[in-house]
Chain A
Amino acid sequence: MEAIVDNLIVGFSVAFQPGVLLYAFLGCLVGTLVGILPGIGPLAGISILLPATYGLDATKAIVMLAGIYYGSQYGGSTTSILMRIPGEAASVMTCIDGHAMARKGRAGAALAIAAVGSFVAGTFGVVLLTVVAPPLADFALRFGPPEYSALLVLGLVFLAYMSSTSLMRTLLMAAAGLLLGCIGIDVMTGHFRYSFDIKELGDGIGIVPVAVGLFGLGEILSTPAKTVTDKVAAPRLSELMPNREEWRQSAAPIARGSVLGFLVGIVPGSAHIIASFLSYAVEKRVSKTPEEFGKGAVAGVAGPESANNAASTGAFVPMLALGLPTGPVTAVLMAALLIKGIAPGPQLVTEHPQVFWGFIASMYVGNLMLLALNLPLVGLFVSVLRIPYAYLYPLIIVLCIVGVYLVNNSIVDVWIMLIMGVVGYFLRKLEFDPAPLVLGLVIAPTFELSLRQSLVMSNGNWAIFFSGQRPIAAALFAVSGALLALAALSWLSRKDWRRGLPEES
């Protein structure tokens, strides 16, 4: 413990150097910006600023680039809440209840809760990163393909709790999303699946174009301007902050989201999206008023927003402690360190303590900066809703097109976004909830790959998922099984209850 304090003192002495502070702030600022702009996410933001780091020393470079990454998780909620466009893939869940809150005139409250939740979760994540990174890293390593399959099965089981519509509709949406996720080159066998000779579809359909299309454009298509004029979306200044009741309702979800998010975040892979989905499902499961979800439940904003922030911090664990790039964002961060002649790896802490602890300390500072940056901005952002809708929605369409285009410089992505917008319009007409579709799309490629990887490892023996050699996988499957059993049980007992109903009446 003393060693940690000593190290942190070293770290803070680095983090508070004016130059380092400045670059941390720049990173947070750009992160907030790319988070707010729809489509363009942390990966694009970091790669854009990567060349700008060539003149900097390693600490400043990594502090700034990491700031972009966790900063984008703060900004991602803004457009989700105000316009129902996910500013960043992990903010899809915030669209649902965040935007519903905005429609009730609580946009300011939703933004403030998202900012505070992000701050609490981010800081919690850094504390854990400081104290327990090495043992957690070993845990992350034990997460191989079988464990990943088990985690995703759990995610699929949770799907049933996600939606505000009937189970059949949720299952249909999930199946459609999983199917969309199958498009592209099959990593195991090299077959092109359903890509119709379009090379851009080789890597599959991106989450960003689908989410922006289904949520953002779909919303615009089904909202003619004349229906909006009497909507009181823009709140008065005095109503910007959450009230006591809203704070109370968000405390527990923020705490749960932070823990869940961090745990899921250290698992290799792009887990922060899955973390926010899982958090939403958990909140709905434990809520006393699950029917509120989808209609502006505070917990539906607080939980997922905290989870995706904690997860983005958790993702640093395998990178810093093991030198393993487990996702695209950490891969770029590692490349940035490599370019500076610092090889991230197990010896990073001992060989470059200034960089390592300076980086950790800067994350404490960065999270404070982001809170200070985002809370005052709430008022400014909410006033976006004062722009007349006839001017606002054309601008949103432009932002959707530009943001989606810039992710890969790909016009194909923009077409996907447009098609998904039309699909989203009809799904709304037919009362389908698009969220399970997006989750299916996120899960499908990883689930299929890890399932088949597991079978390669076991030479085709399905026992690998349940054997004692893989306790984590077995435990996760047990949780899934228990949840299914519980659901079946309550379904059966409700049947009984209904059978008794006529006698009562």
Chain B
Amino acid sequence: MDRRGFLAGSAAAAVLGTLPAAGQDSYPSHAITFINPFPPGGAADVVARPLAAVMEPLLKQPIAIETKAGAAGAVGAQFAAAAKPDGYTILIHIVSISGFAEVDRLYGRPVKFTNADFIPIARFIADPMVLIVNDQQPFKTLKELVDAAKAKPNELIFSSSGLHGALHLPTALFMRAAGIQLRHLPTNGGGPALTALIGNNAQVLCSSIAAASPQIKAGKARPLACFGAKRAPALPQVPTLKELGFNIEFYLWVGMFAPKGTPSAVITVLREASRKAAADDTFVQAMNNIGQEVAYLDQAEFRAFWEADAKRVEEAVRQIGKV
């Protein structure tokens, strides 16, 4: 009842134009909404839900998760960018957030939002991608794959979750670095992309380790290289691209963002809660369950990481170009 009473009060305040001052002292004073820009069970959702569960007692307010899926995550991001910057609408998004503006520019469309519209708060996980091939393919090492692709350009097929998507971008970076050309088979999601590989309708796929590991364990897919700076604990025998002489990194990371203009006092509260949540055993366990290590970065480091990562993503988008 308290909450409803307050909501009514703050709504009245909003009408009188006094809300920004009213909310600040005691943030958070009512329910917070996390925007999940992907379908339920997607990359952001599986992090947002345990995170919300752990952050609720820290912030002493309920956290609702609102799914605003569409256009590969652009709808949710645009919604959050346009939300009132009061700390009650928070976006949970992944690596692909950096690509939308570049894709819009590529097609000569008006840019709906850029990275400057968001304040990074924290990064929670960063899963390096892994390059896998179908087990019926003869390639045992990355070199064999590159040689085969060079011998017959445009013959092997790689699948992806969609054009300019999180699974397409690393493949594009790798193809350029290796100087090879593979045919692109876009599908409409990470699941269908993996299905295409397992069914041998595609031979190569860059996937998140979490999604690929059951198939790797079952011997249906063979990992050739990882996209991390160092080897992944889940796949210790798989070399990184850096070891193999390609200077590429690519992570499927999940982070928290607030709309531009959110008061710094509010950001501080959220940073503090995120830091505690990331160290919480329940959250760590939940991440381990989905095959992830917590890779927490606080605002300053996350901002630096995000800037470097955005450059990689934009470069990959330009590399793919307009199809």
Contact = CB atoms under 8 A, between A and B. Distances in A.
A43 interface: yes
Contact of B290 (A189, A339, A410): A339
Contacts of A323: 214-215, 218
Contact of A340 (B109, B289, B291): B289
A199 B71 CA distance: 7
A278 interface: no
B263 interface: no
Given A189-B163, A408-B67, A200 B75 contact: yes
Contact of A341 (B187, B201, B288): B288
B110 interface: yes
Given A199-B78, A332-B40, A408 B107 contact: no
A187 B214 contact: no
Given A190-B164, A345-B215, A456-B184, A199 B201 contact: no
A402 B169 CA distance: 38
A343 B214 CA distance: 6
A54 B50 contact: yes
Interface in B158-209: 162-164, 183-189, 191-192, 194-196, 198-199, 201
A54 B290 CA distance: 13
Interface string A327-348: 0101111111011110111110
Interface in B214-235: 214-215, 217-218, 220
Interface string A136-176: 00000111110000000000000000000000000000000
A50 B40 contact: yes
B40 A46 contact: yes
Contacts of B69: 203, 408
Nearest to A51: B49
B195 A202 contact: no
A249 to B, nearest CB: 39
Interface in A175-203: 185, 187-192, 197, 199-200, 202-203
A227 interface: no
A192 B322 CA distance: 13
B50 to A, nearest CB: 7
Given A338-B291, A408-B67, A343 B78 contact: no
A446 to B, nearest CB: 9
A396 interface: no
B323 interface: yes
A328 B39 contact: yes
Contact of A322 (B78, B112, B163, B198): B198
B312 interface: no
B93 interface: no
A130 interface: no
B310 interface: no
A456 B217 contact: no
B220 A346 contact: yes
B234 to A, nearest CB: 11
B185 A50 contact: no
B199 A141 contact: yes
B41 A345 contact: no
Nearest to A327: B191
Nearest to A206: B70
B260 to A, nearest CB: 18
B191 A325 contact: yes
Contacts of A408: 67-70
B288 to A, nearest CB: 7
B59 interface: no
Contacts of B68: 408-410
B53 interface: yes
A188 B107 CA distance: 14
Contacts of B86: none
A395 interface: no
A203 B185 contact: no
Contacts of B45: 47, 335
Interface in A421-451: 449
Given A50-B49, A190-B164, 12 more contacts: A50-B41, A51-B53, A189-B163, A199-B78, A200-B70, A268-B195, A323-B215, A324-B191, A324-B195, A343-B213, A343-B291, A453-B187
9 contacts: A47-B45, A50-B41, A145-B196, A187-B186, A188-B163, A325-B191, A326-B192, A335-B42, A409-B68
Interface of A: 43, 46-47, 50-51, 54, 141-145, 185, 187-192, 197, 199-200, 202-203, 268, 318, 322-326, 328, 330-336, 338-341, 343-347, 408-410, 449, 453, 456-457, 459
